[in-house]
Structure formats: C-alpha cells, structure tokens
Chain A
Amino acid sequence: MDYSNWYTVDNVAKVFLASINRRDTRAFRVSCTLKEPVDPEILQQALDMAVEERPQFQVFIRRGVFWHYMEHTDEQPKVTEEHRRPCPIMYGYEKRSKLHYRVTYFGRRINLDMFHALTDGNGGFEFLNIIVGNYLQIKYPGKLDEITTHKAASADELAEDSFKQFYGKSKGMAMGPTNKVKKVYHIHGMLLPYDQLQFFEVHMPVDEILKRSKAAEVSLSSYIGAKLMMAIYQDMPALSRSKPIAISMPVNLRKFFPSETARNFFNSVTITHVFEGGETVETLAKMFDEQLKSELDPEKIAVRMDNYEKIEQLMFVRLVPLFIKNPVVASGAKKQKNTITATVSNLGKIDVPQEMKPYIEGYSSFCSTSTLFMTLGTYENDLTMGIASAYNNTSMLRRFLQGFSSEGIDVTVYATEVTR
C-alpha cells in the first residue's frame, strides 16, 4: 500500500459525509441488465480489471482533524449476490476498512452501489460500463476486443477536484435576484418504518414520451418534471395548496467546464411553482422548461458553483475542527433539504459501443433520499425511472404513473418489498 497516495475530498463529498444517515445513506446505484444470467466468476475478473482502470475508487475515507480525506488502499472488491436494499450504507464506523462501493449481481443484473462522496452518477455509469465491457470481453473472447467503454483521461485528470480547478470563473459576474423559497410543500404522510426506502423501477417507451414532450415544445426532463409536479399538486391537501412545490435537478457540470474528472462534479438547480389552479401539464411544462433554461445559464452555474467553494476557502472555516464542522454542515444540508419537495436527476442517454448492445437489455439507477428521488435514463427505446421513496404513502406515485398509463403509454413497474 502506498501510504503517501491520498486525496482531499471535494466540497460536495463534505456535505455527503456530514449528512449521512441510515435512511439517506448518500449512496446511489447504477445497474445494467444483461440478456443472460450473470456469471459471478467472470464478473469478479471483470471487476479486478476495472479496478486497475479506475484506481480513484480504491480508497478509504478517513477523518482528519480539519477535513475528511481519502486514502488509497489495496483492498480488493468482492463480487457478491445482491441481498441488501439498493443504495446500502457504505460509510461509517462499521465500514471503516471497507471500500465505499460494492458490486453485486442478481439474476441478469449487475449492480454497482457507490457512496456519493466518491463520484457522481456520471462517474458511476462510466465505472459500471467498464465492468460490463470487461465482462463481455471475457465472456465472448475475440468478439468485443476493440471496444472502448471510457474516456481517454490521465490519472491526474480523473482524480482532479474540478470544483477547485474551475473555482473563480464567476469573477465579476452577478447572480441576479435569487428566488429563494423558504417554506415549500413536502409530500404528506408517514415515513416508512425501520429507515426503509421503497425503490420503484419504471420502464416506458422513450418515443412515446418524446412525442408528447415535443408536442409541448419542452425537453424530456421538463415534461417529466412537470408531470411529477402536477401529481404532487393533485395529491396535496387543500390547506397546503398555497405552498410552492420545488423540484431540485442536479446538473452535470462537465457540460459547462472542460473536466474529465471521475469524482463529483455537479450542482443543483431548483424549479419552483405555486399552483394557481388552472395549470395543465402543457402550460406547467413550458414554465418548467423556461425556469430550467434560465437556471442553466453558464454564468449562473459558475456563480452557484463558486458560492459553495468560496465558503470552503475561508481560512476561518478551514481551521475549525471537523467535529464542529460536521454538525454545522449537516444542519445546513438539512435546511437545504427543507427547501425542496423532490429531486429529479436526468442522467441522459446511456451510450455504449454498438458491439455491446446485443448483450445488454437495459440500465437503471437509484439514489438514496430522505424524501423522494427520481433518476431518469434512456437506453435504446427504453426510458427508465428509478424512484426512491421514503414515504409510506404511494398515492402520489400512483397518480404520477397513472398520468402516463391513462394516455395509452405502456408502463411497467418493478418495486422492492417493504415493511409498512
């Protein structure tokens, strides 16, 4: 083990490390379903090869006096059959000397559960595709030798803390008036007992949804975000209807900055709306799309990113010991969470080399939450929604999915069983 090989954690990871709990484990899962059952021995070999390609994830996260840090380890990941909930806890006292990601299989599915402090969905999907690519290469020797499943980036580029690298790009830019929302609506009802989350994997044909979103002249994210907002509104008790609904959407900052990092590099924008009563999905989708486009203005993105990083750069903040910083960051994260109703993360189109497609049926993803988190991803003509819900009440989700099925769209739902 090279003890001198260590990294500081990025500013998003600091929030995840401070606000982890048994329900919201701050982990995410990306999965790939193959067209045939997974062979665990081949998967182990594929993972061993992938580890050499992405050594950035071979770390233990440790507590320093002032900050957490990531320490390189020789610990090798072991492939096991899935027997836990998606997004299990992967950091804490009990996981001290364990890697912060896990590769499991179940039937035809390969799962990669990762602690969000290591990387974001983009990095997670890339690592999963490396594993799947290696798996298929070993399984079908000679057929897929020429495929490339990841970007050509140096080790330094992959390990780069891009928040620091691109800090200061907003100098001289003004954020403009921010529409800060104080009290937003939270989905009503009890939370699931025993810190559970219920996971729903929903499949729909992409072309059907795209047809509708194009007719409404909005993007797919805006259309689905508006549909979700509408379902939340319809499920709201009458007395709460004056409260705004806020949908948070993580933004991949690699689209705005030339970064190849395998670590976290995202930010979130929030779309809010107070219903007046006469909205239709189409008008709501237009409003959603306009707000989203305005929030995705590169200048605003740069300012927002710098605002977070600026706090970390203050010497006063840096000199405060971690045991004081952690509860402060956790309370800030909790306050931030109170300003959103649900989160929708669009991972976009999942691209794999053409040669791999005959062996892959689909992809899915989930992210832990203490409220409701929906991930979106498209592969071929399959739109997959990975919904994690902390609520016992499923009426809002029922309304949301019925909104699609009542329009004649073929909706298929898979779900985990929970104790209610």
Chain B
Amino acid sequence: MRKCSYCKVNIGGNLKACPLCQSKLSAGQAGPEEPYFPKVVHHKGVSILLKILVFVVLAAVIGSRVVDTRIIKTEHYHFSKPIIMYAAVVLPTAYTFYKNHKSIPMIIFRAMVIACCTVAFTGLMFDIMELAVWVIVPLIVAATVLANFVFCFVDVGFSEDSLICILLNVIIGFTAEFYFMIRGIEMPFWWAVNKIICMTTFVAIVIFKGRRLYIELVKRLNI
C-alpha cells in the first residue's frame, strides 16, 4: 500500500498518481499492488458508418443545391428539391436503424411509414401520384403485414412487437377505407388486396395468438 505524501492517505491498487491531488506516487517499499478496478475504455462514439452516411448525404444536398441554384442558370427541373427531401428521409431512417436495431418489427413498421411518405412525395414531385398512392403504398403496407405475421409466429424477443405492428397496419387499412368511403371514391384494386391481407392476418392472429395479443394490449394500454 502506498501513501500520498501530500494528502496523507493510503492509495490502494496500481494507480500511478494520487486520485485526489494527481501528484505522482512513489513506488514505495511494497511497490504497486494488483489493479483494484479494471482499466475501462469509456468513450464509444457514434458509429463511423453512420458518420460517413451523414457526411455523404449532406455533401450531396449542399452540392446539388449549389449546382441547381447557382451554376445552372437556364430554366430547368430543380432536382435539388427531391434530393433534400430524400436526405430528410434517409437520415432519420438510418438513425432509427442504428438506435433501434433489436426490434425488427418496429424497424419494419417505421420504415414502412417513412417509405409510404417518401413514395407519396415522389408521386407528387414527378406527377405519378396515382401509381404511388393507389398501387405502391398498399403493396408496401401489405408486405409489412406479411413480414410481421411471420415474425409473430417466431418465438423470439420481438414477437410481441409484431402483434402490435399488425394491429397498427390493420388500423392503417381501415383508415384508408374510411377515407375512400367519406370521399365517395371506389376502393382501388390494390387497396382492396391490402384489406384482404390485413383482415385475414388479423383473423389468424386473433385465432392463434389471441391471448398474447390481449395481454400485450392490456400491458401497453395500462393506465
């Protein structure tokens, strides 16, 4: 055991300096002991891949904006706008994946919401709204339902999340139907297909996983 001659306290372990006054400790008669606490590598920063992605995306935004508004002087399509929009989608999505990589159903559900918004916006930008909202969006929703349907039968840590995600997907399906109903629009074919998929998976969930779904709802909605 060594003694700090300034603080007059015994210093245990293998520290090279007194932890109170930071003055160097002499080796002493007995010499340093075994370490009392392990050496810790503390600072784990943000993933380098995420940093590279953020850099590339922001560089693309700045570059495209400068070219679009300052370099090309003639009348042209402002391509920097969709690039900014996609950057606004890509960065939060990447962060969600980075932060929440354990619950696959939740990631898929969030990705679905982001993808649907992106598709709708792209449709608006490139004048293909009908294709985007009438075809692509219901297909994305249906694909998410099917993926989560598979996950809820795999008995892993995130199975219960998939039950909730399916329920949310069904709510999306009903919201779309409600929208078509109040607007007096006939339900588009792919939305009808989506409705069939949502309803059948929901019925299957109620039959095969009804108790678990009920418990999940009780737990999550407990006030």
Contacts and interface: CB of A to CB of B under 8 A. Distances in A.
Interface of A: 3-4, 6, 8, 60, 62, 64-67, 69, 71, 81-86, 93-94, 96-97, 106-107, 193-196, 198-201, 318-319, 394, 397-398, 401-402, 405-406, 410-417, 419
Interface in B180-223: 212, 215-216, 219-223
B34 interface: yes
B21 to A, nearest CB: 6
5 contacts: A62-B220, A94-B99, A398-B7, A411-B10, A419-B42
A171 B116 CA distance: 54
A64 B9 contact: no
Contacts of B11: 412-415
Interface in B135-175: 157-158, 160
B223 A413 contact: no
A416 B20 contact: no
A163 B4 CA distance: 47
Contacts of B158: 97
A83 B219 contact: no
Contact of B20 (A84, A398, A419): A398
Contacts of A412: 1, 9-12
Nearest to B214: A4
A107 B103 CA distance: 36
A401 B7 contact: yes
B150 to A, nearest CB: 19
Nearest to A81: B38
A319 B43 contact: no
Contacts of A97: 102, 157-158
Given A66-B222, A94-B102, A107-B34, A84 B40 contact: yes
B223 A67 contact: yes
Contacts of B160: 3
A124 B145 CA distance: 43
Interface string B86-111: 00000000000001111100000000
Contacts of A6: 215, 219
B69 to A, nearest CB: 38
Ranked nearest first, the 4 interchain pairs of A and B with the lowest CB-CB distance are A415-B19, A194-B43, A97-B157, A96-B102
Q: Which of A3, A82, A195, A200 has the most CB of B within 10 A?
A: A3
Contacts of B73: none
A398 B13 CA distance: 18
A88 to B, nearest CB: 9
A401 B42 contact: no
A200 B38 CA distance: 13
Contacts of B102: 93-94, 96-97
Given A83-B38, A194-B43, 13 more contacts: A3-B160, A8-B222, A64-B219, A66-B223, A69-B222, A71-B219, A93-B100, A107-B36, A198-B19, A318-B223, A410-B10, A413-B12, A415-B37
Contacts of B37: 82, 86, 106, 199, 414-417
Q: Which of B1, B13, B219, B221 has the most CB of A within 10 A?
A: B219
A6 B101 CA distance: 24
Given A84-B40, A194-B43, A413-B12, A65 B220 contact: yes
Contact of A64 (B21, B36, B221): B221
A415 B25 CA distance: 14
Interface string B13-25: 1010001111000
A194 B45 CA distance: 9
A285 B222 CA distance: 47
B40 A83 contact: yes
Contacts of B99: 93-94
A394 B21 contact: yes
A8 B218 CA distance: 11
Contacts of B76: none
A333 to B, nearest CB: 22
Contacts of B101: 94
A69 B220 CA distance: 8
A78 B42 CA distance: 22
A71 B102 CA distance: 17
B8 interface: yes
A8 B7 CA distance: 48
Given A93-B100, A97-B102, A411-B10, A394 B20 contact: yes
Nearest to A408: B8
A394 B21 CA distance: 7
